Structure 1
Amino acid sequence: MSLAAFLDAHRAVVRVALGRVRGSSPREAGTEMFVADTDLHGTIGGGRLEYMAIARAREMLREGILGDRMDLPLGPEIGQCCGGRVEVTLARMGARDRAAAHARDEAARAAAPEVLIFGAGHVGRAIADLMQHMPVRAVLLDTRPEELGRATARVEMRVSVLPEADVALAGRGAAFIVATHDHALDFLVADAALARGDAAYVGLIGSRTKRAKFDRFVRDHGTAADSARLTCPIGAGPSRDKRPAIIAACVTAEVMTALTTTAAAGPRLETPCRGMDTRGAAIREVPRG
Structure 2
Amino acid sequence: MSSPQGFVERLAELARAEAPFVSVTMVEAIGSTPQDTGSKLLVTTEGLSSGTVGGGKVEHKAIQHAQAMLADSSGQAPVHELVEWNLQRDVGMTCGGVVKLFFETYNHSDWQVVIFGAGHVAGAVANCLGQINCHTRCIDSRSEWLDKIADRQRLTKVHADDLPAQVASLPNDAFVLSITMGHGTDRPVLAEIFRQGRKFPYLGVIGSRAKRGVLVRELIADGIPRERAEAFHCPIGLPLGSNEPGEIAISVVAELIQERDKWRGGV
Q: TM-score, normalised by structure 1?
A: 0.54
CA pair 213-261 structure 1, distance change in 2 beyond 3 A: same
1:166 aligns with 2:157: no
Unaligned runs of 5+ in 2: 1-10, 17-22, 29-36, 43-48, 52-62, 64-69, 71-78, 80-102
Question: In structure 2, what is the equivalent of residue 233 of structure 1?
Answer: 235
1:120 aligns with 2:118: yes
Question: In structure 2, what is the equivalent of residue 211 of structure 1?
Answer: 212
Letter in 2 for 1:241: S
Per-residue CA deviations over 1:115-173 (Å, capped at 9, x if unaligned) read 11111111111111122233332101100111101110421111022211212211112
Per-residue CA deviations over 1:20-77 (Å, capped at 9, x if unaligned) read 9xxxxxxxxxxxxxxxxxxxxxxxxxxxxxxxxxxxxxxxxxxxxxxxxxxxxxxxxx
Write the distance in 2 (CA, Å) between the matches of 1:184 and 1:242: 21
2:139 alignment partner, SS class? strand
Cα deviation for residue 254 of structure 1 reads 1.7
2:230 alignment partner, SS class? helix
The sequence identity of aligned pairs, in percent, is: 26
Count of equivalent residues: 187
Maintained 8 Å contact 1:109/1:136: no
Q: TM-score, normalised by structure 2?
A: 0.58
CA pair 122-106 structure 1, distance change in 2 beyond 3 A: farther
What does 1:5-84 align with in structure 2 at a 5 Å threshold?
Answer: none
1:231 alignment partner, SS class? coil
Maintained 8 Å contact 1:193/1:202: no
Write the distance in 1 (CA, Å) between the matches of 2:240 and 2:14: 37
Cα deviation for residue 185 of structure 1 reads 1.1
**What is the root-mean-square deviation of aligned Cα atoms in Å?**
3.8
Letter in 2 for 1:170: L
Write the distance in 2 (CA, Å) between the matches of 1:131 and 1:106: 23
2:148 alignment partner, SS class? coil
Question: In structure 1, what is the equivalent of residue 130 of structure 2?
Answer: 132
Unaligned runs of 5+ in 1: 9-14, 21-88, 266-289
Cα deviation for residue 238 of structure 1 reads 2.7
Write the distance in 2 (CA, Å) between the matches of 1:247 and 1:206: 11
Write the distance in 1 (CA, Å) between the matches of 2:129 and 2:193: 19
Maintained 8 Å contact 2:15/2:106: no
Maintained 8 Å contact 2:164/2:188: yes
Write the distance in 2 (CA, Å) between the matches of 1:200 and 1:111: 14
Maintained 8 Å contact 1:194/1:229: no
1:172 alignment partner, SS class? coil
What does 1:185-200 align with in structure 2 at a 5 Å threshold?
Answer: 185-195=185-195, 196-200=197-201
Question: In structure 2, what is the equivalent of residue 144 of structure 1?
Answer: 142
CA pair 133-183 structure 1, distance change in 2 beyond 3 A: same
Question: In structure 2, what is the equivalent of residue 263 of structure 1?
Answer: 264
Cα deviation for residue 246 of structure 1 reads 1.1
Maintained 8 Å contact 1:144/1:159: yes
Maintained 8 Å contact 2:173/2:201: yes
Question: In structure 1, what is the equivalent of residue 180 of structure 2?
Answer: 180
Maintained 8 Å contact 1:172/1:198: yes
Write the distance in 2 (CA, Å) between the matches of 1:259 and 1:207: 23
